[in-house]
Amino acid sequence: MSDTLELTRELIRRPSITPDDAGCQDLLQGRLDAIGFTGATLRFGEVTNLWSRRGDDGPLLVFLGHTDVVPTGPEARWQSPPFQPTERDGLLYGRGSADMKGSVAAFVTACERFVARHPNHRGSIALLITSDEEGPAVDGTVRVVEELQRRNIRIDWCLVGEPSSESIVADTVKHGRRGSLNGRLRVRGVQGHVAYPHKARNPIHQAMPALVELSARQWDQGNASFPPTTFQISNLNAGTGATNVIPGEVELLFNFRFSTESTAESLQQQVEAVLDAHGLEYDLAWTLSAQPFLTEAGTLVDATRAAIHDITGRDTALSTAGGTSDGRFIAPTGAQVVELGPVNASIHQIDEHVDIAGLDTLSRIYERVLERLLTDQPRR
């Protein structure tokens, strides 16, 4: 059993459903202590965060990850217990195996081998690990970044272990993410009897033309790095449950995943202009979950792509697709950010799993990134 597989199994055994770390970070820091890292636990509310660093000088490379996992869903539907790591047909099953305890384990084992070979490496290495990535994400990475800024600690490069790969480990690297803007819209009408519609005002009927217009609108064309901005209605609720009552209001939730060609402010203005043009009586609350970010080709992107080729012999694709990640909290500080992790096909699903051989490949790639960035003569 490889060190990376063994550590991944130990992490899976800890039922660390958000925001409970369940002792994962203590396990990690114990391994890091042995190779000269100094760790600090930063607790905010119910969330546990680990900041562990080796070295005092720049440049600073940070491995960013999380130990929390989403709930298991019905455990009876799992082929094996979700917190009992189980190997079948070259795959390791367990909640968090792909998202992202496998990556976190690979961070640590990569650091162990790198430090053994390069004890006097230049710059610094750090791990920032939270138990709040899968939850509200208000007391996790974002709070640690605020603390680091208060200490005048500047991150140069950040490698996020999110499961970025599509078919095989390292076939895709995320070098940016779209923004995420949420809206909660309530359109008010007048409740009444369906047989007397002239005495009521149906908010569903009133809202539909505006929603059709919003759904059909092209918000931007995207660009070379981002697809066009998308608008999706995720929830729509109205009515009393009776078939003979016109509801008094309809409430819906919608989301924009937006490129760097749009801004949150411009999208808000356009939506409100459509609603006003249709004469709706409404309340609208906005929540900005993430601004878009992009790391252009440069030191970190180049080192990551080269490391992948060194280890696998393959070229990798750059992508900004998918949801948000905690990289959104690092990028605004000026750091270069990329995401590289296991295949994402089973994340958040029943019987989540990760390719066992891929874990070792990932750890070797991380080690190679360290060599390319923090040594003068990278080992081949």
Q: Which residues are catalytic, by number?
A: 68, 133
Tell me the β-bridge partners of 130. 49, 66
- Give CA–CA dist 25/17, Å, rounded: 13
Burial 58-86 (b: 16+ CB within 10 A, else e): eebbbbbbbbbbbebeeeeebeeebbebb
Contact assessment for residue 32 and residue 39, using Cβ atoms and an 8 Å cutoff:
yes
Contact assessment for residue 218 and residue 269, using Cβ atoms and an 8 Å cutoff:
no
Would you mind telling me the total number of residues written for the chain in this entry?
Answer: 380
The greatest distance separating any two alpha carbons of the chain, rounded to the nearest whole angstrom, comes to 82
Total Cβ atoms within 10 A of residue 221? 11
Contact assessment for residue 325 and residue 339, using Cβ atoms and an 8 Å cutoff:
yes
Total Cβ atoms within 10 A of residue 212? 10
Q: Which run of H or of E encompasses 3?
A: helix 3-12
Radius of gyration of the chain (CA): 24
Instruction: Report CA-CA distances (Å) from 361 to 204, 210, 235.
Output: 53, 50, 40
What secondary structure does DSSP assign to 202-230, as a single string? -HHHHHHHHHHHHHH-------SSSPPPE
Contact assessment for residue 9 and residue 109, using Cβ atoms and an 8 Å cutoff:
no
**In the numeric block, which tokens belong to residue 187?**
């359109």
